[in-house]
Amino acid sequence: MTSLNPTVREFEFAQDLAAVKRIWLEVGWVDAETSKQLDHFFACGHTLVGTLNDEPECAVHCTEGGIYLHQVELPLWAVTAVTTSRIARGHAFAQRLTAQQLAYGAQQGAAVAALGMFDQGFYDKVGFGTGAYDHSFTLDPGTLMVDKDAPTPARLSREDYPAMHAAMLNRQKVNGSVCLYPPVLVQAELGFEENGFGLGYYHGEQLTHFVWLTVSGEHGPYKVRWMAYQNPQQLMELLALLRSLADQVYSLKIMEPPEIQLQNLLHRPFRNMALAEDGKHAAEHESFAWWQFRILDLAACIRALTPVKAVSFQLVLNDPVEALLDTGHKWRGIGGRYVVHLAEQSRVEPGSKADLPVLECSVNALSRLLWSVMPASSLAITDNLKAPAALLADLDQALAGAPPHPGWDF
């Protein structure tokens, strides 16, 4: 039997695209029609492939963007697709390629990496921590209690992707908001799904707020896949627009906008859940964390913080990605010993200071801490994080804030 000669190399668009399409078809992410969108998808970003006998059998695609740490946008390296063929399992391609992509992104100036996970646990091994819960509602749009009528919207099609991409970049931001910069990425994402349509509103030539939905059946369920708005008034206008679909649509699935508690806008939500139980058109509320993220540039992330109170501490940080990167990479993770000062102008420098309390943790846990996914005292229970009780209490107060929400599925 000849050697499979497993290797990792840069993706070459003309040479490798057919093989990558085959991988996506094998894993069921696309069909013959939607696979055409991969021409757009892989035309942007940066891709590494794992090969057997020089044939790509794994591909990891990343895209540049931004992520907000409270009010500050930081450079983001988004892992937008990790795909392994049926014959390449067991070669650790996905893990190795993801680790190398993190090193590449860090060397390009990214401060943070993020991804949408297929399940929890795999990406922990390269330093990713789990994001905050998002709330998903399936509801009868007629139960939305919005005290306004929606103006007549403009009809949007896939060809309007540049305007929709611009609206997503210009939307209202919260802690954790993600923006992916290449417009063709939106073009591809819209094309991956059939039966999609958009409705939105323009101010002059600019699309200011919109929704993009996918359809399943005459009466639904419809699913809100994209939603952008610049202020609370536009958000309420979009909710009124969704309510106006109730003449035909019996059920609608939507992620809760982070600025509001959606249940508070629903007419008798518990009654409607009971009436719809086990029916085709459900009324339900789910919570789940679908994304993970990690720090690539510790100094940039610390500088972005403006804590509620000043705290200084010794940080002993471990980064599991180091074990997956060979010595050829300049960036080998961010593990080490640091002195951290959280203040009006936060800063961090390598080294030790004996008179400071010690926080010992993984990059996974520290990422969750800085973005207010969970307080330090909770992470000390469930995550790889240890500190004296007094320091935990100080960090709970200093880094209190709204949990992060990406607002962009990737």
pLDDT per residue as tens digits for the range 82-104: 999 999 988 889 999 999 999 99
CB atoms within 10 A of CB 218: 8
* 69, part of any domain: yes
- What is the bridge-based pairing of β-strands 178-180 and 196-203? unpaired
- What's the pLDDT at 281? 65
Residue with tokens 């840069």: 10
Measure the CA–CA gap between 162 and 151, rounded to whole angstroms. 23
112 and 226 together in one domain: no
The residues, ordered by sequence, that sit 6+ positions from 303 with a Cβ below 8 Å of its Cβ are 345, 346, 347
241 and 104 together in one domain: no
- What's the pLDDT at 28? 93
180 and 237 together in one domain: yes
- 154-172 exposure pattern, b = at least 16 Cβ within 10 A, e = fewer: eebebebbebbbbbbbbbb
141 and 233 together in one domain: yes
Domain boundary pick from 236, 260, 286: 286
* 146, part of any domain: yes
340 and 229 together in one domain: no
* 124, part of any domain: no
Structurally, how many domains does the chain consist of? 3
Total residue length of the chain: 410
Return the higher-pLDDT residue of 271 and 45: 45
* 122, part of any domain: no
- What's the pLDDT at 148? 87
Can you give the residue range of the structural domain that contains 168?
A: 135-286
The CATH number that applies at residue 106 is: 3.40.630.30
Measure the CA–CA gap between 329 and 133, rounded to whole angstroms. 34
- What's the pLDDT at 327? 78
Residue with tokens 């990891």: 60
Measure the CA–CA gap between 142 and 267, rounded to whole angstroms. 9
Structure tokens given for 341? 């000062």
Give 340-380 pLDDT, tens digit per residue: 999 999 999 999 999 999 999 999 999 999 999 999 999 99
Quote the radius of gyration of the chain (alpha carbons, Å): 23
Give pTM, 2 decimals.
Answer: 0.94
Domain boundary pick from 286, 316, 335: 286
241 and 160 together in one domain: yes
Q: Judge whether residue 271 has pLDDT over 80.
A: no
319 and 352 together in one domain: yes
The residues that bridge with 312 in the sheet, in sequence order, are 341
* 327, part of any domain: yes
* 404, part of any domain: no
- The helix, strand and coil proportions of the chain, stated in percent and rounded to the nearest 5, come to 30, 30, 40
